[in-house]
Every structure is written in C-alpha cells, then in structure tokens.
Amino acid sequence: MELRGATVLVTGATGGIGRALAEGFAGRGAAVVLSGRRAEALEPLAERLGGRAVVADLAERGAAERLLDEAGPVDVLVANAALPASGLLADYTLEQVDRVLDVNLRTPIVMAKLAGERMADRGRGHLVFIASLSGKTASGHASLYNATKFGMRGFALALREDMRPHGVGVSTVFPGFIRDAGMFADAGVTLPRGVGTRSPRDVAKATVRAVERNAAEVDVAPLALRIGAQLGGVAPVLSAAVQRRAGGQDIAEGLAEGQRGKR
C-alpha cells in the first residue's frame, strides 16, 4: 500500500511504541490521526507531526465507535492501544478482567469491523494489530494477557482471508521485549544475560513495512526469542519447561508487579 497521502489512525499513541508508530507513518508521508487518553501528551505530538489528536478512553463502551466517527475516513487503522495483564488470574478482580478484555481484544475487533467495512466499500485499506510474542507462545503468570494476544492473532489471520477479496490488507505485528518504552520497559524488569531486546523504532519500521508489503505477520525480536515463539507453538509443554529453567517465572513475576498499577 502507498502510504504517502494516506490517512493513518494510531491508537495508544501516547505510549512510547505509539509515538514511534506515529512518527514512522508520518515519516512516510501519511496524515496521522492520533488517539490516546492523555490530551497533554497527545496534542503536542499531533501538532509536531502535522496530524490530528482525538482523545479517547477505549476502556469505555462506545468509545471506539465515537473515535472512528471523529477520525473520519481512514486508509490504515493501527490498533496499538493495550493494557498490561501480567500476573496470576486469581489476583485480578472481575472488573479488571473485563477491562483488559475490552481494551486488548474487544475494542480492536469493533474498530476492525467498523473501519474494515468502510475500507471494503472503497476497495482499499489496511488493518494492523500490534500484538506480542505472547500471542504465539504461552507463559506462566500471563494467562489473561496470553488470552487476549492469542485471540488477536486468530482473529487477524481469519479476517485477512475475509478481507482479501475486498482489497483490504490485514497484518499483525509481534514485538518481544521492547526497551526504552512500553509495558516491559515501564516495569523495570532485568532480563537474563543473552535475552535481547528491540526498540520502539524497530516496531514502527516493521509495522510500516508490513503495511507497504501486506505482510500477514511480522515478529520484532532477536532470533532466540523468535525461535522460542515457534517452539511454543509446536511444543508448548517443552516450551514451558525451557522457560522455567531460563528464569521465565522471575521475569513474569517482575512484570506483574511493575505493571500492577496499570490494570
């Protein structure tokens, strides 16, 4: 897809990865519409990139519909907004469970339905879902997060087939551990030696490339983590054992504690 002159809506644009996504698409000549909960962070970014800001809390029912109405016709939807959901399911209230499911899974589905119908009518467009390698391999202390990201992957792959005859592309991006900004960086967890990271800019570059090439899936992680994700898909019990031996539970517990206040 040609991005120059296209209108790109990025949700979760006030986070570090969201900012990098906005900058990446603006750098390709797209007109960006940026959404987030914090106007004080969103509006200066939109002004700097020559785009528009639409403040929205996607945890609220009806917010996704209102956002799309206010954004107007978009050529590319980047569903990036998400809540952290590490930790034991027993530690979550039912209200917190609903909130995570709404933001991480229901809202992207609703936005894809509404925006995708409009794109199909025009015969062009692209839907992008920013997921996680947690959507390819499960890990302890992350059952709720895994559920939303596994669900997003299955939804996107099926939707890609449904939208193909209408000229609308669908891509899913799977970041691993992202340094400098985002959920992992905010939690302040130290990784074991040898476990590599990628940057928000790497995520943005991969996402832009996915849209331009209509790639179904793109992983943004070092080779070892990508191999680990593949292992998790074909041998989940073995993958769980490997993760335990590599200190995966310590990482998961650290993420859960560092993200507790954002549930």
Structure tokens at 144: 């709720």
Is there a domain that residue 102 lies in?
Answer: yes
Q: What is the pLDDT of residue 248?
A: 65
Distance of CA 46 to the CA centre of its chain: 20
**Domains identified in the chain, total number:** 1
Residues with catalytic function: 145
CATH code: domain of residue 82: 3.40.50.720
Domain enclosing residue 195, as ranges: 7-262
Place of tokens 């990025």: 10
Q: CA 153, CA 166: separation in Å to the nearest integer? A: 20
Alpha-carbon 87 to chain mean position = 19
Which of 221, 225, 220, 226 lies closest to 208 in space, CA to CA? 220
The H or E element that residue 45 is part of is: helix 39-49
Q: Which pTM does this prediction carry?
A: 0.91
Q: Specify if 2 maps to a domain.
A: no
Q: Is 104 in contact with 85 (CB distance < 8 Å)? A: yes
Q: Residue 1 falls within a domain, yes or no?
A: no
Task: Establish if 248 belongs to a structural domain.
Answer: yes
Range 216-226 average pLDDT: 93
pLDDT digits (tens, 9 = 90+) for 193-215: 667 889 999 999 999 999 999 99
Kindly tell me if the per-residue pLDDT of 84 is higher than 70: yes
pLDDT in tens, 97-153: 999 999 999 999 999 999 999 999 999 999 999 999 999 998 888 899 999 999 999
Q: How confident is the model at residue 250 (pLDDT cuts 50, 70, 90)?
A: low
The type of residue at 160 is R
122 within some domain:
yes
